[in-house]
């Protein structure tokens, strides 16, 4: 009898990239559902629009590169990028901005470098920054969370705003929108208002903005699921949240009226989404364990610095991109000690 030959190991592989991506998408769903609950149908429309655009762009690019399309599409990485960007976008963002963002993420940040695995930057965050820098007004036009929203829009109304820009009769943008808690906080702090005074406003919940903190909770839950499933390791989320918390608490302790308390930073903006879903993107993050601790801690630090003294309200995207650049260097200097060696890896 003749048999085919192949080198070891022969065992069936329990893991695959598409399984990994699907698990991340699954873990993102509770947070995404919470976003839809608190911020209306626009979020769902953005998610669908972004996903369709991402898959189309990916297919186009792969086709142009003369590679088989189906295996690439079915790794679900494009959909994940699209969803991560979509949940970071304002709910009523004009459709063409979503399309531009997603196309940029897939074509310019990912495929132009060689596709999955080769992109030095996190595609979703690069696209977010592109949109934020180019269209700051649209990108900071957020809706109030459900409990503060006096004019909730229906699905059709949301679609109409997104695709035609036409507001429902009798409504103005001013009536419809509201600054994000981060924006509100730092704008007012910049105006030298006291923290206690700011926090007296109805915008705030227990830790962060009302509604927002619940979205954060659901992201946290999804993140814990990823940890449980061992899709991500604890190193990046823990070091990122830890460093952010520590430095924020330190400053808050130094001046309780000028710097928000630590938990505020964790539960507002994109911190929890970033810690579990963005910073842990394996392609653009550090791969060594020690490196991941450094990487996460630096992101946390940068988030605090940019939020507190920077010009943009949220900082996760900038912090992640900056650390993406540093990742290869960090990896180089944090190699583990190989078995039977004296010093660290490079000896």
Residues contributing to the site for another protein (CB under 8 A): 1-17, 19-20, 71, 75, 77, 114-118, 233, 282-283, 285, 287-289, 331, 335-341, 345-346
**CB of 21 or CB of 49, closer to another protein:** 21
DSSP 113: G
Q: Looking up tokens 């992201």, which residue turns up?
A: 219
CA angle 84, 122, 220 (to 5 degrees): 45
State the nearest-atom distance from the C-beta of 28 to another protein, in Å: 17
Beta bridge partners of 209: 204
State the nearest-atom distance from the C-beta of 21 to another protein, in Å: 9
State the nearest-atom distance from the C-beta of 72 to another protein, in Å: 8
**CB of 21 or CB of 297, closer to another protein:** 21
d(CA 177, CA 153): 12
State the nearest-atom distance from the C-beta of 343 to another protein, in Å: 11
State the nearest-atom distance from the C-beta of 6 to another protein, in Å: 6
State the nearest-atom distance from the C-beta of 291 to another protein, in Å: 9
State the nearest-atom distance from the C-beta of 220 to another protein, in Å: 22
d(CA 26, CA 293): 25
Q: Which class for 75: exposed (0-12), middle (13-18), buried (19 or more C-beta within 10 A)?
A: buried
CA angle 329, 330, 336 (to 5 degrees): 120
**CB of 140 or CB of 335, closer to another protein:** 335
**CB of 74 or CB of 154, closer to another protein:** 74
The distance from CA 210 to its chain's CA centroid, rounded to whole angstroms, is 20
**CB of 225 or CB of 251, closer to another protein:** 225
**CB of 37 or CB of 113, closer to another protein:** 113
Please measure the distance between the N-terminal and C-terminal CA atoms of the chain and give it in whole angstroms: 50
d(CA 35, CA 278): 17
**CB of 285 or CB of 321, closer to another protein:** 285
Retrieve residue 44's tokens. Answer: 């769902």
Q: Which class for 301: exposed (0-12), middle (13-18), buried (19 or more C-beta within 10 A)?
A: middle
d(CA 231, CA 226): 5
d(CA 230, CA 22): 13
Alpha-carbon distances of 234 from 63, 93, 292, rounded to whole Å? 37, 33, 9
State the nearest-atom distance from the C-beta of 129 to another protein, in Å: 22
**CB of 51 or CB of 324, closer to another protein:** 324
């Amino acid at each position: 009898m003749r048999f085919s030959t192949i080198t070891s190991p022969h065992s069936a592989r329990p893991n695959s990239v598409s399984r990994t991506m699907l698990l991340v998408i699954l873990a993102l769903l509770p947070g995404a559902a919470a976003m839809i609950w608190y911020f209306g149908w626009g979020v769902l429309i953005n998610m669908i629009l972004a996903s369709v655009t991402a898959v189309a762009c990916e297919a186009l690019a792969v086709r142009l590169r003369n590679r088989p399309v189906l295996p690439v599409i079915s790794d679900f990485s494009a959909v994940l990028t699209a969803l991560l960007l979509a949940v970071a976008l304002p709910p009523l963002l004009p459709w063409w901005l979503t399309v531009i963002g997603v196309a940029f993420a897939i074509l310019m940040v990912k495929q132009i470098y060689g596709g999955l695995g080769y992109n030095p930057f996190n595609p979703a965050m690069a696209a977010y920054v592109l949109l934020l820098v180019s269209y700051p007004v649209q990108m900071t036009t957020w809706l109030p969370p459900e409990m503060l929203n006096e004019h909730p829009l229906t699905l059709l109304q949301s679609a109409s705003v997104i695709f035609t820009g036409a507001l429902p009769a009798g409504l103005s943008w001013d009536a419809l929108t509201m600054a994000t808690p981060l924006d509100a906080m730092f704008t007012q702090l910049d105006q030298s208002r006291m923290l206690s005074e700011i926090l007296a406003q109805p915008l705030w919940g227990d830790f962060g903005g009302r509604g927002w903190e619940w979205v954060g909770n659901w992201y946290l839950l999804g993140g814990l699921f990823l940890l449980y499933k061992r899709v991500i390791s604890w190193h990046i989320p823990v070091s990122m949240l830890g460093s952010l918390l520590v430095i924020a608490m330190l400053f808050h302790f130094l001046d309780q009226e000028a710097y928000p308390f630590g938990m505020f930073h964790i539960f507002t903006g994109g911190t929890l989404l970033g810690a579990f879903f963005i910073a842990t993107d394996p392609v653009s993050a550090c791969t060594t364990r020690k490196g991941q601790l450094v990487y996460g801690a630096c992101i946390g630090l940068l988030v605090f610095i940019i939020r507190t003294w920077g010009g943009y309200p949220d900082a996760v995207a900038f912090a992640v991109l900056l650390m993406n650049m540093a990742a290869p260097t960090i990896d180089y200097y944090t190699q583990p000690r190989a078995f039977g060696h004296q010093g660290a890896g490079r000896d």
